[in-house]
Amino acid sequence: MFIEPYSDRKKGWVEVIAGSMFSGKTEELIRRLKRVQIAGRKTEIFKPSIDVRYHETDIVSHDSSRLISTPVDNPYNILLLATGVEVVGIDEAQFFDDGIIDVVEKLARSGTRVIVAGLDMDYQGKPFGSMPELLARAEFITKLHAICARCGDPANYSHRIPKIEDKVLLGEKDVYEPRCRACFYK
């Protein structure tokens, strides 16, 4: 009898939700994870421990939807904490170092569905952290847009209001506003 290799193995894949600030990335991540939980799948949700804007542990969208998550300093901790999990959610992936790429790949190859959300560009309009590599490796990509705070067109950029040049500056509407291409470069 011939048995196909890996025929009993679960199939994993990577989904990336990308966009600017205020585009609904975390909201979409929460929506997908809630559906997975309704389906009875074992899930774990992670976020970088530096993101405490809304809550120390929960991932929280701008519309106040939330899910319990585990903050981690090092992306490799996700591998340790996600043993036996069918679906892993990762929010604010741009804040993790390049190890997140290896972690996501290992999870997907082991049969885990991985849903990653993050900013694809920084406040200067440049690719942000490991997100470009994650986008390249993903089976499914969702690009979300906010509404430009200046003209109302679809916004793809996150304009930083204060003139602070640190790469990472956590903030909300007092620090960032969504802008379309034309308004961003004016």
Please report, for the chain, how many H helices and E strands are present, in that order. 5, 12
28 given a catalytic annotation: no
Active-site residue identified among 92, 105, 165, 177: 92
E strand segments, 35-160: 43-48, 59-60, 66-67, 70-72, 87-90, 113-119, 140-144, 146-147, 154-155, 157-160
Phi, psi of 150 (to 5 degrees): -95, -45
Q: Measured between alpha carbons, how far is 103 from 158 in angstroms, rounded to an integer?
A: 27
Active site residues: 92
